């Protein structure tokens, strides 16, 4: 059996040359369209990478601010200072400014355990604070004085107003 000689017949030559040219044109068209598609997607990917990097830097900045605010709030939520003030010291003429100051300092010294405690635990122990101050008798010279809490404000600084009476 013999293969027919198609190379001699012009219609077959036109068919094969048309198929070769069509394959070449379709291959060029495929490369062009695929290149355009890849270029569009590469631009989209680069744009998204830049956007992701910007968002990550924004998140880092927000996290730093958030941590800083948490630290500041943590400081605010602890007792930073204790203030004790005697309100009726003028009533007792024998008390001078130095002895009033010493009384206030002694009470503050007893309450130093409250420094750097969180506000919730200080608030829960307010009755204990009241007992510590009111059960204390302070002697100045030959007289002893009893203390009574007039008001107490518990915040980052604990402020206590105290009245004194003769024992």
Q: What is the pLDDT of residue 136?
A: 85
Q: What is the pLDDT of residues 2-19, one digit of tens each?
A: 666 666 677 877 888 899
Both 40 and 13 in one domain: the answer is: yes
Residue 95's domain spans which residues?
A: 81-166
Asked which of 29, 51, 76 is the last residue of a domain, the reply is 76
- E strand or H helix that includes residue 159: strand 157-166
Asked which of 28, 61, 76 is the last residue of a domain, the reply is 76
Q: Is residue 1 part of a domain?
A: no
Phi first, then psi: what are they for 94, rounded to 5°?
Answer: -75, -15
Instruction: Please give the tally of structural domains in the chain.
Output: 2
Both 30 and 96 in one domain: the answer is: no
Cα–Cα distances in angstroms (integers) from residue 93 to residues 27, 99, 118, 140, 143, in the given order:
110, 12, 39, 13, 13
Burial class (CB in 10 A: 0-12, 13-18, 19+), 129: buried
Q: Is residue 140 part of a domain?
A: yes
Low-confidence ranges of the chain (pLDDT < 70): 1-8
Q: Is residue 151 part of a domain?
A: yes
Q: What is the pLDDT of residue 56?
A: 95
Q: What is the pLDDT of residues 136-147, one digit of tens each?
A: 888 887 888 899
């Amino acid at each position: 059996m013999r293969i027919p000689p198609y190379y001699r017949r012009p219609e077959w030559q036109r068919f094969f040359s048309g198929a070769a040219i069509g394959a070449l044109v379709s291959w060029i068209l495929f490369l062009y369209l695929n290149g355009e598609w890849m270029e569009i997607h590469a631009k989209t990917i680069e744009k998204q990478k830049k956007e992701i990097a910007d968002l990550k830097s924004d998140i880092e900045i927000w996290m730093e601010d958030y941590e800083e605010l948490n630290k500041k709030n943590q400081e605010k939520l602890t007792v930073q200072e204790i203030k004790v003030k005697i309100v009726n010291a003028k009533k007792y003429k024998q008390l001078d400014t130095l002895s009033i100051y010493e009384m206030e300092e002694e009470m503050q010294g007893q309450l130093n355990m409250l420094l750097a405690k969180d506000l919730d635990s200080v608030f829960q122990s307010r009755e204990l604070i009241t007992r510590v101050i009111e059960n204390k008798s302070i002697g100045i010279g030959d007289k002893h004085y009893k203390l009574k809490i007039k008001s107490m404000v518990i915040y980052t600084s604990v402020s206590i107003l105290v009245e004194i009476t003769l024992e």
